[in-house]
């Protein structure tokens, strides 16, 4: 019962299915299963570690500088971006040329930034701790991976020759995600 | 690779950012449910994107790609501050309704990743025309989608009640936005020749080839 | 191919006969209005299917009459007092957005009836979940009055039902008549299972899953009552027959279909006992669409590998027996 409650929680707070964040990234990465999987994983890494940085910033940022929050979040993600590229370069120099694209696509996109802002908004109301921030970031990443699986399952059907040509691909995928999102909304 | 001979005004209809390019979808889905929200978003999106892309065109190409992306995002965040102040003056209360999507404009893909692919390959004059056409294309989609959704979901137009007997409240929700945008996109591709993206999934190849 | 088409048509005829019987029951309890609602649903689905197929440059054939059965399934889940316009919009959504946009009957992703129902649930929940009492025959153009919550709602919130077993079997309880006529549904299930018109694995997975959890984690104080009421309420039996066991959607192999049905039952039962969500099984069946698609992709892959292996074996046999000569170019390589 706990597992099912967790799955329901992952679905009802899902970035893509309830907030439409990261949909473009999902479509860009859906060209191949490998791209989709690694993009989802790198987004999860960014949301988890980024939420740690967001927690530190939120605790230190005075109210008078609230308008600069966006800028500081961008700088946090920017630092994470550089660090991850550096780590990847030294860890896997041979394949760096092919693997760096996942970092490029994952860093500055609505899924990551949206997660940080959503957690930050919830933190104001609920007095979250550092661990809560990190767990929320990891949950957002896991939700993205779940949405990626949901999308992959229908990928062939959405690109089938039977789908009318004007709906084949992106339009059918949007309607598919919309119907899944509708079912999740009915659960709430 | 980008065809530099494509007309700079393609971004308005033929290569519309939302319907053809699969970009900036989330605000249309979530915020594009009333005309007032859409107008506030359009104002912010147009101002931030134009200022950021214009400023970003001066960033030297010698700087490594990763740092350039960070600079574009920082420029977007800096452009966000005055735009937000003005939005609070002209559209009071709307920023609270739009929420985080207002802030996310600063890191929309037209500013961060797509600017190099779509705009910076042109000369300055043509680049500005291309940026404007993409922005206007987004604005048009946002307005049309929000007007129809507001009418069908809430029975109002720009906040004024219209005599509608049957309302589809689901159309005002994000899932309604997904489904409605999908239908609009399909109809758009049926009407506009060449409106289909070169490759829907996998997006613009240039994004993955750097 | 011809055999496959013939069997699909026979399946459709069988399903239509059972649905029409339920529609007659609907008329018995709710009067002419129920029939008018059904006719409107069928007509709207039919017309929207024709129009959308024309726009797709396809001819409407007799195989496309599945839109009628889908609309009937959706109709049987609605209260008889439902606004005709709302029902029509739901039928258009089910036919166009949930089916034809993805390629129609040749590329089914969602159950159109389930999608149409959940669309109604999210947009017109108040209209959908209020019913007239059985044997109250509203007029064709009468506005909804004196409506009550369904028996399922009462069961979900209190764990009890104030109806005897005979009333539950005959469907003499408030609710969508097509889904509470338990005796008729049971007979329909037996007929459709024996004629292999629905997925046996998915059906038994759903029923067994619901039964096991209703017994082990009872809603009522008495596990037997919990089992009895859980199976007859919340559209469980109806969904098990017409939505989850739909051969167009469920996995083809009974082994996978069983687990598909089982997990839908598990998920929806837990939603019922934790959140008292009415008719949760319909919502969950829509959510499990990616699971069904995943199973079908797996089945295709297995079939492909088996076919390749078989072809390789046949080729090897042919080479051994001398029927097939390996081209000389291969030796040269």
Q: Would you say residue A94 lies in a domain?
A: yes
Chains that touch A (3 or more CB pairs under 8 A): B, C
pLDDT at position A4 over 80: no
Chain A residues within an 8 Å CB radius of C113? none
pLDDT at position B16 over 90: no
* Interchain proximity A180–C121, CB inside 8 Å: no
Instruction: Say how far apart CA A14 and CA A37 lie, in whole Å.
Output: 17
Q: What is the pLDDT of residue B195?
A: 59
pLDDT at position C332 over 90: no
* Interchain proximity A162–C107, CB inside 8 Å: yes
Rounded to a whole number of angstroms, the distance between the first and last alpha carbons of chain A is 17
Tens of pLDDT, residues B94-113: 778 788 888 888 888 888 88
Q: What is the pLDDT of residue B12?
A: 82
pLDDT at position B65 over 50: yes
Instruction: Say how far apart CA B146 and CA B152 lie, in whole Å.
Output: 10
Instruction: Say how far apart CA C50 and CA C142 lie, in whole Å.
Output: 31
pLDDT at position B204 over 70: no
* Interchain proximity C106–A162, CB inside 8 Å: yes
Chain C residues within an 8 Å CB radius of A182? 115, 118-119, 122, 286
Chain C residues within an 8 Å CB radius of A163? 101-103, 107
How many CB pairs below 8 Å do chains B and C form together?
A: 21
Please classify residue B202 by burial: count the beta carbons closer than 10 Å to its beta carbon, then call 0-12 exposed, 13-18 middle and 19+ buried.
middle
Place of tokens 């390789």: C312
User: Between B174-191 and B124-154, two packed helices, what is the crossing angle to 10 degrees?
Assistant: 120
Q: Supply the range of the domain harboring residue B16.
A: 8-194
What pLDDT band is residue B205 in, cutting at 50, 70 and 90? very low
Among A121-130, C67-76, C109-118, C160-169, name the one with the lowest average pLDDT: A121-130
Q: Would an 8 Å CB–CB cutoff place C110 in contact with chain B?
A: no
Q: Would you say residue A139 lies in a domain?
A: yes
Q: What is the pLDDT of residue C326?
A: 67
Average pLDDT over residues A42-62: 89
- The DSSP element (H or E) to which B69 belongs, if any, is helix B65-90
What pLDDT band is residue C69 in, cutting at 50, 70 and 90? very high
Chain A residues within an 8 Å CB radius of B83? none
Q: Would an 8 Å CB–CB cutoff place B96 in contact with chain A?
A: no
Is the alpha carbon torsion for C289, C290, C295, C301 positive or negative? positive
Q: So where are chain C's domains?
A: 2-306
Instruction: Say how far apart CA A69 and CA B107 lie, in whole Å.
Output: 13
* Interchain proximity C109–A162, CB inside 8 Å: no
Q: Would an 8 Å CB–CB cutoff place C104 in contact with chain A?
A: yes
pLDDT at position C63 over 50: yes
pLDDT at position A32 over 80: no
Q: What is the pLDDT of residue C282?
A: 97
Closest C-alpha among A79, A89, A54 to residue A69: A54
Number of structural domains in chain A: 1
Q: What is the pLDDT of residue C318?
A: 86
The percentage of chain B sitting over the pLDDT mark of 90, rounded to a whole number, equals 38
Contacts of B133 (CB under 8 A, 6+ apart): B8, B9, B10, B11, B12
Q: Would an 8 Å CB–CB cutoff place C119 in contact with chain B?
A: yes
pLDDT at position B201 over 60: no
Q: Would you say residue A102 lies in a domain?
A: yes
* Interchain proximity A175–B183, CB inside 8 Å: yes
Instruction: Say how far apart CA C309 and CA C305 lie, in whole Å.
Output: 6
Among A1-15, B31-45, B70-84, B156-170, name the one with the lowest average pLDDT: A1-15
pLDDT at position C81 over 50: yes
Pair A184, A8: CB distance under 8 Å: no
Number of structural domains in chain B: 1
Two structure tokens written together for C316 = 């090897």
Q: Would you say residue A160 lies in a domain?
A: no
Q: Would an 8 Å CB–CB cutoff place B191 in contact with chain C?
A: no
What pLDDT band is residue C329 in, cutting at 50, 70 and 90? low
pLDDT at position B206 over 50: no
Q: What is the pLDDT of residue A31?
A: 72
Tens of pLDDT, residues C151-168: 999 999 888 888 889 999
Q: What is the pLDDT of residue A173?
A: 94
How many CB pairs below 8 Å do chains A and B form together?
A: 184
Among A71-75, B167-171, B204-208, name the one with the lowest average pLDDT: B204-208
Chain A residues within an 8 Å CB radius of B205? none
Instruction: Say how far apart CA C234 and CA C267 lie, in whole Å.
Output: 13
Q: What is the pLDDT of residue C74?
A: 97
Q: What is the pLDDT of residue B197?
A: 53
d(CA B86, nearest CA chain C) in Å:
36
**ipTM beyond cut 0.85:** yes
Average pLDDT over residues A127-155: 88
Mean pLDDT of chain C: 91
pLDDT at position C333 over 80: no
Average pLDDT over residues A83-111: 84
Rounded to a whole number of angstroms, the distance between the first and last alpha carbons of chain B is 11
Top mean pLDDT of A91-100, A126-135, B96-105, C271-280 is at C271-280
Q: What is the pLDDT of residue B207?
A: 44
Tens of pLDDT, residues C260-281: 999 999 999 999 998 899 999 9
The percentage of chain A sitting over the pLDDT mark of 90, rounded to a whole number, equals 21
* Interchain proximity C123–B183, CB inside 8 Å: no
pLDDT at position A48 over 50: yes
Two structure tokens written together for B59 = 């960033």
Top mean pLDDT of A25-39, A44-58, A92-106 is at A44-58
């Amino acid at each position: 019962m706990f597992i099912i409650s967790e799955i329901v929680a992952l679905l009802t707070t899902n970035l893509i299915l309830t907030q439409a964040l990261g949909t473009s990234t999902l479509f860009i990465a859906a060209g191949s299963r490998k791209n989709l999987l690694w993009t989802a994983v790198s987004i999860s890494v960014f949301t988890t570690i980024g939420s740690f940085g967001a927690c530190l910033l939120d605790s230190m940022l005075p109210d008078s500088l609230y308008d600069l929050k966006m800028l500081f979040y961008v700088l946090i993600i920017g630092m994470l971006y550089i660090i991850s590229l550096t780590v990847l370069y030294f860890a896997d120099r041979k394949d760096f040329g092919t693997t760096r694209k996942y970092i490029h696509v994952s860093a500055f996109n609505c899924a990551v930034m949206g997660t940080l802002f959503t957690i930050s908004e919830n933190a104001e109301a609920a007095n979250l701790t550092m661990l809560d921030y990190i767990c929320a970031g990891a949950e957002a990443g896991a939700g993205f991976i779940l949405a990626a699986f949901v999308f992959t399952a229908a990928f062939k059907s959405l690109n089938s020759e039977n789908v009318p040509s004007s709906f084949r691909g992106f339009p059918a995928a949007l309607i598919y995600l919309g119907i899944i999102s509708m079912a999740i909304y009915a659960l709430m | 690779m980008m065809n530099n001979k494509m007309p700079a005004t393609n971004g308005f209809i033929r290569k519309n950012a939302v319907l053809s390019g699969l970009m900036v979808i989330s605000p249309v889905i979530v915020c594009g449910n009333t005309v007032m929200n859409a107008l506030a978003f359009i104002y912010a999106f147009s101002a931030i994107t134009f200022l950021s892309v214009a400023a970003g065109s001066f960033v030297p190409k010698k700087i490594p790609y990763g740092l350039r992306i960070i600079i574009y995002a920082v420029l977007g965040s800096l452009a966000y501050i005055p735009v937000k102040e003005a939005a609070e003056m002209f559209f009071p209360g709307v920023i609270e309704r739009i929420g985080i999507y207002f802030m996310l404009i600063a890191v929309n893909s037209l500013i961060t990743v797509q600017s190099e692919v779509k705009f910076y390959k042109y000369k300055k004059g043509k680049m500005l025309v291309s940026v404007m056409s993409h922005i206007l294309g987004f604005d048009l989609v946002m307005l049309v989608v929000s007007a129809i959704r507001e009418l069908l979901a809430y029975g109002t137009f720009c906040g004024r009640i219209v005599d509608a007997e049957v309302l589809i409240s689901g159309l005002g929700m994000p899932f309604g936005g997904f489904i409605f945008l999908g239908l609009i996109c399909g109809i758009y591709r049926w009407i506009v020749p060449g409106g289909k993206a070169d490759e829907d999934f996998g997006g613009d190849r240039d994004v993955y080839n750097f | 191919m011809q055999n496959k088409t013939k069997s699909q048509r026979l399946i459709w005829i069988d399903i239509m006969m059972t649905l029409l019987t339920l529609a007659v029951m609907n008329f018995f309890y709710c009067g002419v209005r129920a029939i008018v609602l059904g006719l409107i649903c069928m007509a709207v689905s039919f017309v929207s299917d024709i129009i959308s197929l024309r726009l797709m440059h396809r001819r409407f054939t007799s195989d496309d009459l599945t839109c009628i059965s889908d609309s009937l399934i959706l109709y049987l889940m609605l209260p008889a007092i439902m606004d005709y316009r709302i029902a029509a919009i739901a039928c258009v959504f089910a036919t166009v957005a949930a089916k034809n946009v993805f390629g129609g009957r040749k590329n089914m992703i969602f159950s159109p009836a389930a999608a149409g129902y959940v669309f109604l649930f999210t947009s017109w929940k108040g209209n959908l979940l209020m019913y007239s009492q059985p044997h109250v025959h509203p007029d064709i153009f009468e506005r909804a009055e004196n409506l009550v919550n369904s028996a399922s709602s009462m069961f979900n919130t209190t764990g009890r039902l104030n109806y005897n077993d005979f009333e539950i079997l005959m469907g003499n309880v408030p609710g969508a008549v097509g889904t509470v006529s338990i005796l008729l549904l049971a007979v329909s299930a037996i007929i459709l299972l024996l004629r292999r018109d629905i997925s046996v694995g998915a059906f038994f997975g759903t029923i067994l899953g619901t039964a096991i959890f209703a017994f082990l984690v009872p809603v009522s104080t008495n596990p037997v009552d919990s089992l009895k009421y859980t199976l007859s309420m919340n559209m469980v039996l109806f969904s098990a027959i017409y939505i989850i066991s739909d051969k167009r959607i469920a996995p083809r192999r009974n082994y996978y279909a069983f687990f598909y049905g089982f997990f839908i039952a598990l998920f929806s039962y837990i939603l019922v006992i934790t959140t008292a969500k009415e008719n949760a099984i319909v919502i969950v069946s829509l959510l499990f669409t990616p699971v069904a698609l995943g199973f079908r992709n797996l089945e295709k892959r297995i079939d492909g590998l088996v076919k390749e292996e078989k072809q390789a074996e046949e080729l090897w046999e042919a080479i051994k027996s001398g029927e097939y000569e390996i081209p000389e170019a291969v030796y040269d390589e």
